[in-house]
């Protein structure tokens, strides 16, 4: 992002820029190039799959949530919301960082199809892998609570729903999670990590599960599973060898 922003600096200075990358760090990275006053954060809730340059497939509907992480929303945010509403339903949040963290929790599962090389529907049809997903989220929630980060609900997804899921016995929560993930889209859904690996690009793993690991180190909360998953994704990036579901389950049995 920093490289792209630097190369485009003459075109993007003194105009509002909406960051749409996953994770919680995009605005801070962009602020290395342009002023914070021009940066608006967003969380994208619709699904899309890259096919070819200039061609994507729209997997499922969803909203865009925008807001300023560095201060109060203002008239510029309202103006941007009006523009984006012409393409996708857009709403503003005064706690966009809390929205980003809740979305990050849900995006921790993106790593697992990236490790198996299979789309989400096939990957999450396996209960053992769904158990890993639930444990990844539980580990991350422990870090977020220690850091006193206030999560903000997503449309139609209150924070209480996530907490209820995590409070269930692991076998039950994994079964529910499997049903959710396998029904996300009627078409194959690879997720962001696997898409990057297939295109021989660096993945965003350090800004998803890696963000949990970094925050855990800062607040002295162990994150062994998220750390392991980050390492496995980097191994796949380098070797281009995917892990079988059984291998992944074994690696995740810390």
Same domain, 124 and 228: yes
Contact 104, 211 (CB under 8 A): yes
pLDDT at 70 (0 to 100): 85
pLDDT band (50, 70, 90) for residue 248: very high
Domain boundary pick from 72, 94, 116: 94
Q: Which CATH number belongs to the domain containing residue 18 in this structure?
A: 3.40.50.720
User: How far is residue 110's CA from residue 203's CA, in Å, rounded to a whole number?
Assistant: 10
pLDDT over 90 (residue 192): yes
pLDDT above 80: residue 175? yes
Indicate the burial class of 252 (C-beta count within 10 angstroms; 0-12, 13-18, 19 or more).
buried
197 vs 238: CA distance, rounded Å = 9
For residues 218 and 191, membership in a common domain is answered with yes
Whether the predicted pLDDT of 148 surpasses 80? yes
Task: With cut-offs at 50, 70 and 90, classify the pLDDT of residue 159.
Answer: very high
Q: Report the pLDDT value the prediction gives residue 162, as an integer from 0 to 100.
A: 95
Q: How many residues does the chain have?
A: 254
Close Cβ partners of 240 (under 8 Å, ≥ 6 residues apart)? 197
- Cα separation, 123 vs 116, whole angstroms: 7
- For residues 56 and 135, state if they share a domain: no
User: 107 and 82 in one domain?
Assistant: no
> Residue 200 CB: number of other CB atoms within 10 A?
8
Average pLDDT over residues 152-164: 92
3-class DSSP state of 33: coil
Residue pLDDT, tens place only, 14-72: 889 999 999 999 999 988 888 888 899 999 998 888 888 888 888 888 899 999 988 89
Same-domain status, 81 and 106: no
Q: Do 155 and 232 have their domain in common?
A: yes
Q: Does residue 103 sit in the same domain as residue 182?
A: yes
Which residue, 94, 110, 133, sits at the end of a domain?
94
pLDDT at residue 1 is higher than 80: no
Residue 211 has pLDDT above 80, yes or no: yes
236 and 183 in a common domain: yes
CATH of residue 190's domain is 1.10.1040.10
Closest CA to 175 of 131, 224, 214, 220: 131
Do residues 88 and 136 touch, judged by C-beta distance below 8 A?
no
* Residue 9, pLDDT score: 82
Over 90: is that where the pLDDT of 243 sits? yes
Q: From 94, 119, 152, give the residue that closes a domain.
A: 94
pLDDT given for residue 4 in this prediction: 80
Give the CA distances from residue 119 to residues 38, 40, 206, in Å, rounded to whole numbers and listed in that order.
37, 31, 21
pLDDT at 227: 98
Work out how many domains the chain is built from and give that number.
2
Domain assignment of residue 61, given as a range: 2-94
> Do 73 and 20 share a structural domain?
yes
CA distance linking residue 136 with residue 106, whole number of Å: 10
Is residue 47 located within the same domain as residue 90? yes
pLDDT at 228 over 90: yes
Specify whether 104 is located in the same domain as 89. Answer: no
**pLDDT for position 57:** 84
Residue 254 has pLDDT above 80, yes or no: no
Asked if pLDDT for residue 204 goes beyond 90, the answer is yes
Cα–Cα distance, 132 to 178 (Å, whole number):
11
62 shares a domain with 31: yes
pLDDT in tens, 68-115: 988 899 999 999 999 999 999 999 999 999 999 999 999 999 999 999
In the chain, what is the straight-line distance between the N-terminal and C-terminal CA atoms, in Å? 34
CA-CA-CA-CA dihedral for 236, 241, 244, 249, to nearest 10: -30
């Amino acid at each position: 992002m920093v490289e792209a922003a630097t190369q485009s600096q003459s075109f993007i200075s003194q105009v509002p820029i909406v960051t749409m990358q996953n994770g919680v760090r995009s605005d801070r990275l962009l602020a290395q190039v342009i002023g914070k006053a021009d940066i608006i954060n967003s969380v994208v809730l619709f699904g899309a799959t890259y096919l070819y340059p200039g061609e994507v497939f729209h997997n499922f509907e969803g909203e865009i949530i925008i807001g300023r992480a560095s201060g109060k929303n203002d008239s510029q945010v309202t103006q941007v919301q009006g523009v984006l509403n012409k393409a996708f339903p857009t709403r503003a949040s005064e706690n966009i960082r809390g929205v980003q963290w809740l979305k990050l929790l849900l995006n921790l599962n993106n790593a697992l199809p990236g490790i198996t090389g299979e789309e989400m529907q096939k990957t999450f049809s396996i209960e053992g892998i769904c158990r890993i997903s639930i444990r990844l989220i539980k580990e991350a929630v422990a870090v977020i609570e220690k850091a006193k980060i206030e999560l903000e609900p997503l449309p139609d997804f209150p924070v209480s729903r996530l907490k209820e899921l995590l409070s269930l016995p692991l076998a039950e929560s994994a079964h529910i999670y499997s049903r959710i993930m396998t029904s996300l889209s009627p078409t194959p859904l690879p997720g962001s990590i696997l898409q990057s690996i297939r295109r021989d690009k660096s993945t965003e793993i350090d800004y998803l599960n890696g963000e949990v690991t970094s925050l855990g180190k800062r607040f002295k909360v162990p994150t062994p599973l998220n750390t392991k998953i980050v390492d496995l994704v980097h191994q796949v990036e380098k070797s281009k060898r995917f892990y079988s579901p059984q291998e992944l389950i074994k690696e995740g049995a810390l």
